[in-house]
Every structure is written in structure tokens, then in C-alpha cells.
Amino acid sequence: MQKQYNKKQTELNMKVGQRFPLTIKRLGIDGEGVGYFKRQVVFVRGALPGEEIVCEVTKVHRKFAEGQIRKIRKPSEDRTKAPCVYYDRCGGCQLQHLTYEGQLKEKKDIVRQAFERYTKLNLDKLSFGDTVGMEDPWRYRNKSQMQVGNADASLITGLFQTDSHHLIDIEKCIVQHPKTDEVTRTVKTILEELNIPAYNERKRKGVVRTIVTRVGFETGEVQLVLVTATRDLPKADLIVERVNQRLPFIKSIVQNVNSRKTSVIFGDETRVLDGKEKIRETLGELNFNLSAQAFFQLNPVQTRKLYDLAKAAAELTGTERVVDAYCGVGTIGLWMADKAKELRGMDITQASIDDARINAEQLGYDNAEFETGKAEDVLPRWAKEGWKPDVLLVDPPRSGLDESLLNTIGRVKPKRLVYVSCNPSTLAKNTNELVNSGYKLESLQPVDMFPQTAQVECVARFTLK
């Protein structure tokens, strides 16, 4: 009865436009400040833990409210000036106004919050490390995906404003590798010169949707992908000619066709316009071939740290059978192959599996094989054939492990499970399900793969009881 009364009271007293003092207690999973007014949660973009602000309500939901800062009465000691000129409009970064030391501290707290909310585990009784950060948390992204649009009869390229379809024209992004900025600016100019129209999503007319650039940090090789709404790319030969003249370092020029009404970047059809189909990248002592749609970690500097932590968590002795689910082009599995008796991986994307096989062959790992399919389908078949993994490595999307794979893990029962997570909430929820299947969480290690954003990766180690 009391709970119902509080809900009713909150709904009556919270109104859009209302202002009140608010103390920010923590950061939310999307980087917003979290405070409480009359027991109702209020999310405030740009507010930091420890700050005392005047908040103005912008939206009221059934269980929470959203607000904006009208005045900062007491700023956080970790508040700093965001160096990006687009920061107040672009939705790419959320934490540039927080010192990097503060970001690392709060990201560990985001992981802690998720486990406190979704589990009953005491994190003080297991190994829970401080967030592993970067020495230089800028210019770390090896891939950009800039949307193409029109403004005042000119082409613009950039990212959408937070919670909108308004495209922000971005000349320079300070978390991207400088080459990606250079490629995007130059290609935009070429498209304008040749009168190649941007795709208009509302009118369903035009050609170019997205300019995608990937850079090999170590090799220097660059790939340009033009994502188009039409199979026909007008003046394709001239585009290629001018790109080669002005950007001679580009090794691969590719067109991808996506005619669907979707926010997904890539379509199903890809063709090489000039140069190589794939570019090379080096990670530690390993070389990888990357096609246009192949998944590869966006921060190669932190990827080495992440993979080393996952490898340490696997505790390989050379006798283990290892499975890399969600294997992509095989990067994390191949990182461990030298310490495994046998490595097997699977992925639903055929292009990724093709790349993984080539990468394994070129690296000389004859103990590795890869197969197209879902882990929940492939693992039971292998088990029926008498092959079971000792160590299972999972690196799922933000949605986490689905129920069918969790059930499969419960049946196959590998001795150790290394879970590389990009979403603390789904990791915590999956932890409950893994514990119910007989596993014990032994360690958590947050890793900052995306400085200046609210995202945090985490390496979790589970052992079978």
C-alpha cells in the first residue's frame, strides 16, 4: 500500500518545467547523473556524482524523470571543460566533462551498481580490479562511420544529435584516428564536386548513406567503404580516380549496398571498386585480414590489454580445448591459440568465418578451426560427437547471452568460462543464470575500451563448482 501511495504522490508532484535542488549520487549506465527527488529517480545529462544542482524536469515517466541542469551550485572536483567543439550537440561521447581519472573511477562503479541491482553477490569477496585505462585517451578509434546528409544545399557528414535525427556536421572528431577524419572530409568534397547526392531517409531518395573508414594502426593500411542506398553508384570510376589521387594511402575502396529502411549501417551486398578486398592489421605479434564488414575491436591499444586479461583468466596450460563463441575474424581466440591444445570458433557471419580461417592459416595455427553457425546449435552437435570444451570464451553483443546459449552452457558444462562483456547490466543478469547452472564468479576486471563515453568492458571469470 505504501509503495502505491509513493507512486501516486510522485506522479502528482513531478511536472515538466518544475525546478528543484538535486544532489547527484552516481552515474547511470548511459553517463547521466542520477539523483533522487521525493524518492523518485531523476536522470540528468551532464551532471556528475557529488554535485549539487538546480534541476529542471524535461520528461516524466512512470518510474523515473529526466531533467536538465539549470545551475550548478556545487561542482564536482572532477568536472573539466570538454575539449570537443561538438560535445554539447553530438551524441558520440558522454563524459568529456569528467576528468579521465574520474571516468575510470565511475566506470568501476557502474559495474558495481549493475551487480548490486541484479545479483546478491558480494563483490568485496572476489577479485574486482580498478578500471584499466589508457595513457592517452584520445584519437583511439580505428573506424569511423559518418552519416551523409544535406544542409543548405551542401553535403555534410557526421553523427546524429542525441535522441534525434538531426545530423551534426563534424569536421574533426578527437576520439577518431586522424586518418579517418582526413578520408571523410576528402571524400565528402569529391562527392560534392561530382554532384553525387546524399540519401534522404524521409524521401527515400539519393545515393550515399554513410562513409566508413577503417585504419590499421600498426600497418597504416586504410579502407574506404561507401554505403549506398542504390546498387548503381554514379560516376564510380571518377570517384575512385579522385580518391586515389588525393588519398594515395587508401588500399581498399569498397561499395556496400543497403536499400532497407533501417538504422543498421551495412547491407548484404558488398563489391570492391578498387584495390584489395581486405586490409591488414597487426595486434601484438599476430596479423589479421579485415574485410569491410568484419568485426574488429575499435581500440587496438586497449584491445591488447583486454585480450591479455582474458587470456590470463582462461588459465591455459596447453592441454585445454577452447571454444571462442562470437569469434568474428578470430582475433581473441587466436590470441589464445598458442596456449591451447585445440581452438574452435563459430560466428553467424560467413565473411567473418572466411577471414578467421585465413587468419589462422597465415598465422600457422593448425590447431584452430572455425565454423559458421550459432554457438547454441554448434556446441551441442560437437558434444554429441564427443568433443567438449574445457574453456568457453564468450564476447557477446550488448544484449548478452541469450537463453538458448545459457541453456547450452548448462548442458555442456565447460570447466571455465571467460566472459568479455560490453554491458555490465546484461553481464550481471547472465551471472545469476550461470550461478544457477553451477558456476562461480571468481573475478571481475573492468577495462576502458571507449574513453570519453559511458561504455565499459569487463572480463569476468567463472569456474564450474
Average the pLDDT over 383-402 and give the result. 94
Predicted confidence at residue 263, as pLDDT, reads 86
Whether 1 has a pLDDT exceeding 60, the answer reads no
Q: Which residue has the cell 599476430?
A: 286
Whether 127 has a pLDDT exceeding 60, the answer reads yes
pLDDT digits (tens, 9 = 90+) for 414-450: 999 999 999 999 999 999 999 999 999 999 999 999 9
Q: Do residues 462 and 442 lie in contact, with contact meaning Cβ atoms separated by under 8 Å?
A: yes
Average the pLDDT over 40-61 and give the result. 96
Predicted confidence at residue 437, as pLDDT, reads 94
From CA 429, how far away is CA 425, in angstroms rounded? 6
Quick one: how far is CA 278 from the chain centroid? 22
**Mean pLDDT computed over every residue of the chain:** 93
Rounded to 10 degrees, what is the CA torsion of 37, 43, 49, 50? -30
Predicted confidence at residue 11, as pLDDT, reads 53
Candidate from 245-259, 278-292, 314-328, 443-457 with smallest mean pLDDT: 278-292
pLDDT digits (tens, 9 = 90+) for 74-117: 999 999 999 999 998 998 999 999 999 999 999 999 999 999 99
Return the closest-CA partner of residue 86 out of 72, 77, 96, 76.
96
The amino acid that residue 184 corresponds to is T
93 is known as an active-site residue:
no
Whether 6 has a pLDDT exceeding 70, the answer reads no
Catalytic residue among 55, 93, 327, 422: 422
Structure-model confidence comparison of residues 2 and 164, the more confident one: 164
- β-pair partners for 35: 24, 42
Predicted confidence at residue 454, as pLDDT, reads 96
Predicted confidence at residue 286, as pLDDT, reads 87
pLDDT digits (tens, 9 = 90+) for 188-237: 999 999 999 999 988 889 999 999 999 999 999 999 999 999 999 999 99
Whether 129 has a pLDDT exceeding 50, the answer reads yes
Planar angle of CA 125, 127, 131, nearest 5 degrees: 125
pTM for this entry: 0.91
From CA 139, how far away is CA 180, in angstroms rounded? 10
Predicted confidence at residue 9, as pLDDT, reads 43
The amino acid that residue 325 corresponds to is A
pLDDT-derived band at 8 (thresholds 50, 70, 90) equals very low
